[in-house]
Amino acid sequence: MSYGRAVAAIIRKDFQLEWRTGEALLTPVLLSLLLMLVFVFALPPSALRSSDMFVAGLWTAVFFSGTVGLSRGFGRERPDGRLLGLLLAPVDRGAVFLAKALVSFLFMAISASATIPAFFAVFGQSPGAPVWRWAAVVGLVLLAYSGSGTLLGAVAAQLRAGEVLYPVLLFPLLVPVVLAAVHLTDALLVEGGWGSAGVWMNMLVVYNILFWGVPYLVFEYVVEV
Nearer to another protein (CB atom), residue 87 or residue 201: 87
For the bound state, the minimum distance from the C-beta of residue 60 to another protein, rounded and expressed in Å, comes to 31
Shortest Å distance, C-beta 149 to another protein: 22
**Footprint on this chain of another protein (rule: CB under 8 A):** 1-2, 5-6, 8-10, 12-13, 16-17, 20-21, 79-82, 84-93, 224-225
Compute the least distance from the CB of residue 22 to another protein, in Å. Answer: 11
Which residue's CB is nearer to another protein, number 88 or number 131?
88
Residue nearer to another protein on the CB measure, 1 or 161? 1
CB of 10 to another protein, least distance (A): 8
Minimum gap (Å) between residue 141 Cβ and another protein: 30
For residues 108 and 102, what is the distance between their CA atoms, to the nearest angstrom?
10
Q: Which is nearer to another protein, 3 or 59 (CB)?
A: 3
Looking at beta carbons only, is 10 or 152 nearer to another protein?
10
